[in-house]
Structures are given as C-alpha cells and as structure tokens.
Amino acid sequence: MINNTVIARPARAEAIQNPKELLDCFVNTREDFPIFSKKIRGYPLAYLDSAATTQKPNCVINTLTNTYSNTNANIHRGVHYLSEEATAQYEKARQTVQRFINAKSSKECVFVRGTTEAINLVAHSFGQMCIRENDEIIISALEHHSNIVPWQLLCQRTGAKLKVIPMNTQGELLVEVLEQLITPKTKLLAITHISNALGTINPIAEMIQFAHNFGIPVLIDGAQSAPHLKIDVQALDCDFFTFSSHKTYGPTGIGVLYAKEHWLEKMPPYQGGGEMILKVTLNESLYNDIPYKFEAGTPAIAETIALGTALDYLMTIGLEKISAYETYLLKEAELALSSIPGLKIIGTAKHKAASIAFLLDDIHPHDIGSIVDQKGVAIRTGHHCAMPIMDFFGISSTARASFGIYNNLQDIEQLVNALYEVKKIFQGKK
C-alpha cells in the first residue's frame, strides 16, 4: 500500500505572533499543492478564490488515487478484505472529523454532499419534527443562499415565518435585534459563522448562548469558518454545524453535518434507501443507528477518506497558526488595496476573515475579473450566492479576493498590479 502519510510543515509549540515567523512557516506551503507549478497566461497563479473552492495538496490527491488503486470496495456490507479496508478508512475519516471539530462522539458527524445538503437535511428532518404553522425561524441578512432558501421552502411547506437579523453598513449583524425578534414561537436560529460575501465573522458563541437561554436550538453554517478557524462544537455548544470538504482543502462531493446526538436520535430520516435501514419489509422499515440513519446509499467513499487526509493536513499545520497567518495576509491586502485610488472595500466589519470584497471606480466586477485573469490572478466576481447582501448595498455584484494557506505577499502584489492594469484600460473614463 502506498504510504499516504500527510506531509505538512510541522506545527510549532510556541505561539507565533511575529509576521516574519508566520511567513517562514508558510513559505513552502505552495510546494504541497501541484497546481501552483502551472503558469496562467504566462504568469504565476495568484489564486485568490479559496472561498469558492480550495486547491488540493498532494496528500489529498494521493489519497484519492490510492483508494481507487488499492482499497476500492463498497463499505459496511462486504466481508472481503477490500471492503473491510475501505470501511475502516471511511470510519477513520469520521473520527478525524470528530477530532477536527471536537465533537463528543463520531456518531454526531454525518457525511453529506456539502454544506448545502447539510442545511437541507436539517430543514427537512428537524423541520418535519419541530416546525408547524406560525412557528418562526430566524436567519440573518448575511446568509449565503444555501442558508436562506431551505428555510424559505420549509416555511412554504409548513406556514412558518422567516425573520431576519439585520446588518449595518460595515456588514456587521445588529445582534441586539435578536432579542426583539425572539418570541415564544421561535424554533430555530440559523446563522453563518463567516459571511462568504463580506468576510464578517459573527459572534456566534454569544448568539448561541443567548438563543439557548430561550430554549432555541442553533444551526451554524461553517462553510467559510472550518478552513480558517479552530472549531470546537462542544465549546460553541451549537446544535448543528455544517461544512464542506472542498472549501477545506478536500475533494468536492462531500461535507459534514455535525448535530448533537439527541437531535439525530429524534429526527426522522432525510433520504431513504440502503445503508440507513436495519430491516426492510414491504410494510415498513426499521432505521439504522445514527449517524447511518442519515447516510442513505453508497457515499462518496474515496472523497470521504481524502477529506480525512485534508483535515489531518490542516491539524498538522495547526488551525491557530493558519488563522494568524491569514489574518496577517488580510491586513497586508487591506493596506495594499486601500492605497489604490477609487477602490472601495465592501464589508468592513471589525472582525473579518481573510476575504476582501471590493469595487473599483465604476468598473463592473465582471470586467475587473476578466482583466486581472489575464495577469494570472483568479478572483471571484458576481453576487456570490448572496443576493440579499448585494441588494442591501445597492449593487449588483462585487469582486472578491479570498485567501488560503498557499497565498503570500507576492499574490497581493500581483493582484494590485493587475488592478492598476484594469484602471489603465478604462483610462479613468467616468
């Protein structure tokens, strides 16, 4: 079997505060990612779109190849060697997820297709169990469509009402409004940890505690936080936490719903089929134990195992170190971008992740994105699946540069130079 040891820069025991130390820690990280040996249009790849999806390290890519080359079989059912090996690796990945988010038990970690499916699962199952006509669900104005639409659908099905915590022009939630929104009919609070569109980090620990004072369970959309912050679901005490593998340096097609054990025990299944049953007759079926009750059908086995590799890779580097490094890049990028005449940053919350949405003069973000692409710079442009946020700021779209562990100061410089090229092409017209 190919040795699939995770190769990453060793974690350092002492706290790192010095920018030079941070830069030294991550100076060779790009070498772990084969895609950075590519030139894009003759330029090094300045990949500033990690909020959309992350690039993958060799160890993750090797896990996929290794699984299909050496241990490929369906899991949980077979008695032959390959099946036992595949099952062991799949369940080992579940334990890795448990460690990554510090869940009490791996039974609380359900594998789904991604954050979107995780939220839909809760909306469906928790919704079926707990939500009735005139009940209320609270979300925020900062949500990605995947944490808005499932709740809208649930409200349409049940006659429940959706309420929204507003935000200010810095992109910060008006958390104090939460108290006014809560009524005896409030049954769930669903909040993003970090806004994908603005980078705002919400004070979720405080919000969870507040909601729990009223007996209201809380779902946290962790798609943008799991790759960048150390997550401790026990410390947060959230009822549900969701994240996606492909945003966490793992493959596409897999994600995690963490839910407290008592919720998973009580909630009805989401999808029916094989794996999630203990016994099936033509009259009725007996459902499997958790988490399998919520894992119908054959999962993305190799991808799940590779997710485990990705999380091991991150934990070897250390999430606190990753967070510190990305905060450093954020500050440097904000400084550099703010010095460009006509550049306006959208989303200026006091607590932000390493993601900067911006406008440049009156130039449409789509034009900005196309032109910087010619200089090897990959940013995202558009509404970022957050149309309500765009509406709030009275704009149709933004350009967004988002950072990952492979980014460095050269990427920031490349972006700034490309933006000056955009200004040159538009020659200050309008």
Partner 1 sequence: MMDNNTVISSADIRSLYQELIIDHGTQPRNCCSMSCADCKGEGYNPLCGDQISLFIKFKFDEANPSFEKSEENQMSAIIGQVTFQGKGCAISTASASLLTEAVLDKTIHQAIEFSKAFLDSVTIKSDENAPNLGKLTALAGVIDFPARIKCATLAWHALLSALKSHCEAKQLNTEKDIYADI
**55 binds partner 1, rule: CB under 8 A:** no
From 114-122, 147-155, 229-237, 376-384, give the range in contact with partner 1 by CB under 8 A.
376-384
**396 binds partner 1, rule: CB under 8 A:** yes
* The only residue of 18, 37, 134, 169 in contact with partner 1, by rule CB under 8 A: 37
Kindly list the distances between the CA atom of residue 340 and the CA atoms of 172, 347, 359, 366, 403, in Å, as whole numbers in the listed order: 24, 17, 11, 18, 19
* The only residue of 92, 99, 145, 383 in contact with partner 1, by rule CB under 8 A: 383
From 7-15, 324-332, 340-348, 368-376, give the range in contact with partner 1 by CB under 8 A.
368-376
157 to 186: interface string for partner 1, x by CB under 8 A: ------------------------------
CB of 393 to partner 1, least distance (A): 13
Give which of 412, 316, 255, 333 is closest to 32, Cα–Cα.
316
The footprint of partner 1 on residues 287-316 (CB under 8 A) is none
Asked whether the beta carbons of 228 and 354 are under 8 A apart, the reply is yes
Nearer to partner 1, 279 or 430 (CB): 430
Could you confirm whether 130 is annotated as catalytic? no
* The only residue of 28, 156, 370, 410 in contact with partner 1, by rule CB under 8 A: 370
* The only residue of 18, 34, 77, 168 in contact with partner 1, by rule CB under 8 A: 34
Which residues have a Cβ under 8 Å from the Cβ of 84 and sit 6 or more positions away?
A: 78
Place of tokens 């809560």: 182
Determine the Cα–Cα distance for residues 119 and 12; give it in Å rounded to an integer. 36
Determine the Cα–Cα distance for residues 318 and 260; give it in Å rounded to an integer. 25
From 64-72, 256-264, 317-325, 422-430, give the range in contact with partner 1 by CB under 8 A.
422-430
CA 286 to chain centre: 33
Measured over the CA atoms of residue 99, residue 105, residue 107 and residue 110, the dihedral's sign is negative
Nearer to partner 1, 41 or 104 (CB): 41
Kindly list the distances between the CA atom of residue 240 and the CA atoms of 133, 221, 351, in Å, as whole numbers in the listed order: 23, 8, 23
**363 binds partner 1, rule: CB under 8 A:** yes
Helix, strand or coil, per DSSP, at residue 346: strand
Residues known to be catalytic: 385
Binding stretches for partner 1 (CB under 8 A): 34, 37-42, 362-367, 370-371, 374, 381-383, 390, 396-397, 425-427, 429-430
